[in-house]
Structure 1
Amino acid sequence: MCIIENFVLTILETSDVHGTVLPINYSDNSYANCGLAALSTIITLEREINQNTLLIDNGDMLQGTALTYFHAKINNNMPNPMIEAMNLMGYDAAVIGNHEFNYGREYLNNAIKTSNFPWLCANITKKTTGESFTNKPYIVKTFDNGLKVGILGVTTKYIPNWENPETIQDLNFEDVVESANKWIEIMKKQEATDINIVAYHGGFERDLETGKPMEKLTGENQGYELCMKVKNMDVLLTGHQHRVIKNLSVNGVLVVQPGYNGNCIGKVSIDLVKNSRKWSIVNKKSSIIDANATDVDKRILDSISNIETKAQAWLDIPMGNIEGDMLIKDPLKARLKDNAYTEFINNVQMEAAKVDISNTAIFDNQCKGFERNVTMRDIIANYKYPNTLKVISLKGSDIKAALEKTAQYFSIVNGEIEVSKVGIYPKLHHYNYDMWEGIEYIIDVSKSINYRITKINYKNCPLNMEGDYAVVMNNYRAGGGGDYSMFKGKPVLKDIPIDMAELIANYILERKTIKAVENDNWKVIY
């Protein structure tokens, strides 16, 4: 007689938490409905409902807040707050995200070493041996009833376009589709897995329903391609794009993506039945559970209280004063004409690099600029990424191409200017709109794409399209990040391996008082 056995598997996914443990905004310590401390309570409740629950982080965990910056750059003798929290929460596995490399390999290696769970990465391999960078391409979880669940980790292969070359010089970044097919076959044949989960730190380059491209097909987000081309994949956990995706299937593969900063958690429920020694999926669905920061896990608070106290004290260290107005009251208006904040950041970059052309961005709409009294908290809140600087050699034609690229950020709707789809979909891309110093230019949004730059002068003369110019920018942009392909592979004239936050702090400390100035070297018209 054939015995039928039923089983329910729950998979919980965090992704793109970006250093968020507590439900606060470090810019002013205001309340925020997010963070691991809030998600931990949800996870505990889900485990009470179904003990057959797996918890997986999908990457970009170690970087992103003032707390993680403080630990990485100021006081890394203390335990890593993210790993302390994750260990307490009982993660089964984590996947390497692109931002995991931001604080350097030693920092990442220490995080992996002190984790009570494996870090998975099948497609980032060591050049010397061909082995997985983390030595763990996958794991297999075997339940008491014999069910075997394979969990494979893969990471966007686009990292070399963003990361400092010296940080990743010993690594290969292989195609995620090829890696997934290779390792799932191994999992099926050698491990006899019944269910295969792929946790991919990457998103979707195509519309999930129509398959039409949503962005340039660079290989950064191969989620749709994974669903269409990888065999024996049952669930695809995604991230990187900071989207909320639930209860959708592509080519029979269930997909989910749980936002960012720990504002929600992804949940996958799989109903299985065992008949004739074989497990079959009867039903599978995915959902999103929003964080409830009013009910936080005190264990998580206690685990980071010591370093949190020290970080808060460091954030309140005074740096200097601003004379005049360096506030960003309206992010859109700040991107339509020269403003004191971006001029200041460009001045810091040009001073550090000893060149006279620079570009920078207002990274997001939470960037508020500087009040009269500037603390370290203000610097970290405004310049949130641990970028360093590079000076690269560009032709005048490269600069024009970059300006045309940045001009795509705008569109005109009913006679009013607004952020185009390029800037907000499939995720917010405010950090890809650059503002330049050292040249004079005009963006005319009424013109067609690629013909919007109507003026570019350098030292009161038209920019020489064949001339060579030294330009300073952050390392992300210098490597072509944000699809600025005109920068990729250009000669590096100078590498400044000091975090911008430190450069900004030193610049203010040395001068004590900074005058807010605008030389009106650029503007947007329409």
Structure 2
Amino acid sequence: MDGEAMKLVILETSDVHGSIYPLSYADNKPKDVGMGKIATLIKNERAGNPSTMLIDNGDMIQGTPLLYYYARFDKSRPNPMAVIANELNYDCAVFGNHEFNFGRDILDRAVSDSKFPWLAANIVNQSTGEPFFGKPYIIKSFDQGVRVAVLGLTTKYVPNWEKAEHITGMRFEDPVETANKWVPFLKKEKKADVVVLSYHGGFGRDLDTGKAIEELKGENQAYQICQEVPDIDALLTGHQHRMIYGSAVNGVTVIQPGCNGTHLGKVTLELEKQQERWHITRKMSELISVAGVEADAGLLNKVGDYEKDAQNWLDQPLGKIEGDMLVRDPMKVRTEDHPLIEFINRLQMKASGMDISSTALFNNESPGMPENVSMRDIVANYIYPNTLRVIRITGQDMRDALERSASYFKTYSGGLIEVSKAFTDPKPQHYNYDMWEGIDYIIDISRPAGNRIVKLDYHGVPVKMTQHYDVVMNNYRAVGGGDYAMFSNKPVIKDIPVDVTELIANEVLEKKVIKAKVDHNWKLIY
């Protein structure tokens, strides 16, 4: 009947990365994250909005020690994230790039354990061209007669990161072209009143100006989708771990709810029936924080045995440190070569096959590695879910990056060495001071910032400013994060799409004994 109205609410989680419990696995202290808290928000929203959909936008099954433990050691039970999502009655999920990290067996199990469909319109069978996982979209009908279509898309850049054997037989097609193929079908053939795209990818351009904010290599095409695909009502995004809400691009309402279950995304569409058809009269997007929200104890109990086993495993020794790898004075770690930094850099070099590496001591709470190393010790030191990337830089880029790091220190004029305010205010940024391996360099902090690298050698000869060098570093730094603009838009030679914490754990498990050592390839003078 004309004049009839309804409100449709679409709830989005994205990049939860296996976060279920509201805690930090480094020390088990409470933290405002996870599906336990998200569940409370979901139930509250459903109670107030009978016409509600719940969609996960990818990167669900990887990222916490709980999921790492499950994937590596506990394959007899259903995937814990599927258990959680089933309990919450998800309508569908989309594949993120990290869904493939543990291999096809774990992924296929997660899909089969799920009571909801996983969507992948642009992941197709190389031979047939048909959707590889079978389901490109869903249609959900509500009591009022409104038909809502959800089309699932994944960043086409996955083959640049993932191991070939994990994506055998798949072709990742362009999501813009795929959307332009399916959206008209959903509107005309399937008579969808509302079309929602759930895209595990983000924005390569500024939402307001359209100006490129990163190298446009096809990893994050959400802006292009909004501009080039007609008849989209809402676009759910992810991958970049950004918090985007209250925004629209070319009339398309967009949203991105951060990561690790810190926020629930909410898109509200108000519809009215006119001339026997439903029309959207108002659209909005918002993020709801889990801060201060009580976790759903009943939901957490569903995976309590998983958590108990993972916690026991976290405290089981993986191997030993021979020598001293403890951090007693963070400033000392940053002013002279330290075994913890040496170990991480050497591991990054091994994982990438490169001979130059950089990493950081992320904060002043890093305890270092004790004699008996557990997984909890690893996550206490390597606190970010970084992966690794190899980029090709010039000698000048290398020098500029070292000067950026050297500006961490105040110009020395006697007394104690101090940290520059640029690295402490308005928030601590100790993670933006890098230490390198594979080159020899000297920092003179008595000199002004920008002119402190007084020696820079590679294989015993001075680094040539115009020569190219391949360097492995974390993914955040590799895109210029932390004001390392010299790294932005550099050629990516290799991606290693495995969390560094996993690389460390695997190395300790394999070696059993790690020797604490340094080669004194760099030093600080004043």
TM normalised by structure 2 equals 0.81
Specify the alignment match of 2:255 in structure 1.
256
Following the alignment from structure 1 to structure 2, what is the Cα–Cα distance between the partners of residues 28 and 267? Answer: 32
Specify the alignment match of 1:361 in structure 2.
359
Structure 1 pair 154/247, CA: closer, same or farther in 2 (3 Å)?
same
- The offset of 1:217, in angstroms, is 1.8
Following the alignment from structure 1 to structure 2, what is the Cα–Cα distance between the partners of residues 429 and 61? Answer: 29
- The offset of 1:443, in angstroms, is 8.0
2:13 touches 2:261 (CA, 8 Å); kept in 1? yes
Structure 1 pair 384/121, CA: closer, same or farther in 2 (3 Å)?
farther
- The offset of 1:220, in angstroms, is 1.6
Structure 1 residues 22-421: aligned runs within 5 Å: 22-292=21-291, 294-318=293-317, 319-321=319-321, 323-324=323-324, 326-327=326-327, 338-348=337-347, 357-359=355-357, 361-362=359-360, 365=363, 368=366, 370-373=368-371, 374-383=373-382, 400=395, 403=398, 416=420, 418=422
Residue type of the alignment partner of 1:140: I
Specify the alignment match of 1:7 in structure 2.
6
Per-residue CA deviation, residues 187-246 of structure 1 (Å, 9 max, x unaligned), is: 112111111111111111222122222222222211221211110011111111111111
Following the alignment from structure 1 to structure 2, what is the Cα–Cα distance between the partners of residues 91 and 125? Answer: 23
Residue type of the alignment partner of 1:503: E
Per-residue CA deviation, residues 25-47 of structure 1 (Å, 9 max, x unaligned), is: 00110100111011111111111
Residue type of the alignment partner of 1:278: R
Following the alignment from structure 1 to structure 2, what is the Cα–Cα distance between the partners of residues 483 and 328? Answer: 34
Structure 1 pair 316/465, CA: closer, same or farther in 2 (3 Å)?
same
Per-residue CA deviation, residues 114-135 of structure 1 (Å, 9 max, x unaligned), is: 1111111112222111122321
Following the alignment from structure 1 to structure 2, what is the Cα–Cα distance between the partners of residues 126 and 155? Answer: 14
Structure 1 pair 348/281, CA: closer, same or farther in 2 (3 Å)?
closer
Following the alignment from structure 2 to structure 1, what is the Cα–Cα distance between the partners of residues 190 and 197? Answer: 15
- 2:509 is the counterpart of 1:510: no
Q: Secondary structure at the match of 1:30?
A: coil
1:342 touches 1:435 (CA, 8 Å); kept in 2? yes
2:151 touches 2:196 (CA, 8 Å); kept in 1? yes
- The offset of 1:322, in angstroms, is 6.4
- The offset of 1:382, in angstroms, is 3.8
Structure 1 pair 204/85, CA: closer, same or farther in 2 (3 Å)?
same
Specify the alignment match of 2:437 in structure 1.
437
Following the alignment from structure 2 to structure 1, what is the Cα–Cα distance between the partners of residues 66 and 251? Answer: 40
Per-residue CA deviation, residues 336-382 of structure 1 (Å, 9 max, x unaligned), is: 864432201234466789x8935253496598252434322212444
Larger mean CA deviation between 199-208 and 61-70 belongs to 199-208
Following the alignment from structure 1 to structure 2, what is the Cα–Cα distance between the partners of residues 438 and 365? Answer: 23
- The offset of 1:522, in angstroms, is 3.5
1:322 touches 1:370 (CA, 8 Å); kept in 2? no
1:64 touches 1:385 (CA, 8 Å); kept in 2? no
2:423 touches 2:430 (CA, 8 Å); kept in 1? no
Q: Give the count of matched residue pairs.
A: 497
Larger mean CA deviation between 271-280 and 150-159 belongs to 150-159
Specify the alignment match of 1:19 in structure 2.
18
- 2:518 is the counterpart of 1:488: no
- 2:499 is the counterpart of 1:501: no
Q: Secondary structure at the match of 2:493?
A: coil
Per-residue CA deviation, residues 40-63 of structure 1 (Å, 9 max, x unaligned), is: 111111111111100011111111
Following the alignment from structure 1 to structure 2, what is the Cα–Cα distance between the partners of residues 356 and 93? Answer: 40
2:354 touches 2:472 (CA, 8 Å); kept in 1? no
Q: Secondary structure at the match of 1:9?
A: strand
- The offset of 1:260, in angstroms, is 0.9
- The offset of 1:136, in angstroms, is 1.4
Q: Secondary structure at the match of 2:303?
A: helix
Structure 1 pair 228/352, CA: closer, same or farther in 2 (3 Å)?
closer
Residue type of the alignment partner of 2:461: C
Following the alignment from structure 1 to structure 2, what is the Cα–Cα distance between the partners of residues 443 and 180? Answer: 52
2:124 touches 2:172 (CA, 8 Å); kept in 1? yes
- The offset of 1:400, in angstroms, is 3.8
Larger mean CA deviation between 173-182 and 407-416 belongs to 407-416
Residue type of the alignment partner of 2:398: L
Q: Secondary structure at the match of 2:378?
A: helix
1:133 touches 1:171 (CA, 8 Å); kept in 2? yes
Residue type of the alignment partner of 2:106: Y
- The offset of 1:161, in angstroms, is 2.1
Cα RMSD, aligned residues only:
4.1
1:32 touches 1:293 (CA, 8 Å); kept in 2? no
Residue type of the alignment partner of 1:76: K
Q: Report sequence identity in percent.
A: 42
Following the alignment from structure 1 to structure 2, what is the Cα–Cα distance between the partners of residues 328 and 217? Answer: 43
2:396 touches 2:466 (CA, 8 Å); kept in 1? no
Following the alignment from structure 1 to structure 2, what is the Cα–Cα distance between the partners of residues 489 and 376? Answer: 27
Structure 1 pair 245/525, CA: closer, same or farther in 2 (3 Å)?
farther
Following the alignment from structure 1 to structure 2, what is the Cα–Cα distance between the partners of residues 158 and 40? Answer: 31
Structure 1 pair 33/231, CA: closer, same or farther in 2 (3 Å)?
same
Following the alignment from structure 2 to structure 1, what is the Cα–Cα distance between the partners of residues 361 and 97? Answer: 17
Residue type of the alignment partner of 1:13: E
Structure 1 pair 228/467, CA: closer, same or farther in 2 (3 Å)?
closer
1:345 touches 1:504 (CA, 8 Å); kept in 2? no
Structure 1, unpaired ranges of 5+: 493-497
Q: Secondary structure at the match of 2:264?
A: strand
Following the alignment from structure 1 to structure 2, what is the Cα–Cα distance between the partners of residues 523 and 486? Answer: 29
2:126 touches 2:171 (CA, 8 Å); kept in 1? yes
2:349 touches 2:357 (CA, 8 Å); kept in 1? no
Following the alignment from structure 1 to structure 2, what is the Cα–Cα distance between the partners of residues 510 and 403? Answer: 33
1:338 touches 1:519 (CA, 8 Å); kept in 2? yes
Following the alignment from structure 2 to structure 1, what is the Cα–Cα distance between the partners of residues 119 and 20? Answer: 22
Following the alignment from structure 1 to structure 2, what is the Cα–Cα distance between the partners of residues 252 and 265? Answer: 22
Larger mean CA deviation between 128-137 and 48-57 belongs to 128-137
Structure 1 pair 419/239, CA: closer, same or farther in 2 (3 Å)?
farther
2:13 touches 2:257 (CA, 8 Å); kept in 1? yes
Following the alignment from structure 2 to structure 1, what is the Cα–Cα distance between the partners of residues 430 and 206? Answer: 18
Following the alignment from structure 2 to structure 1, what is the Cα–Cα distance between the partners of residues 354 and 221? Answer: 39
- The offset of 1:398, in angstroms, is 5.8
Per-residue CA deviation, residues 485-505 of structure 1 (Å, 9 max, x unaligned), is: 545279x9xxxxx94421133
Q: Secondary structure at the match of 1:20?
A: coil
Q: Secondary structure at the match of 1:488?
A: strand
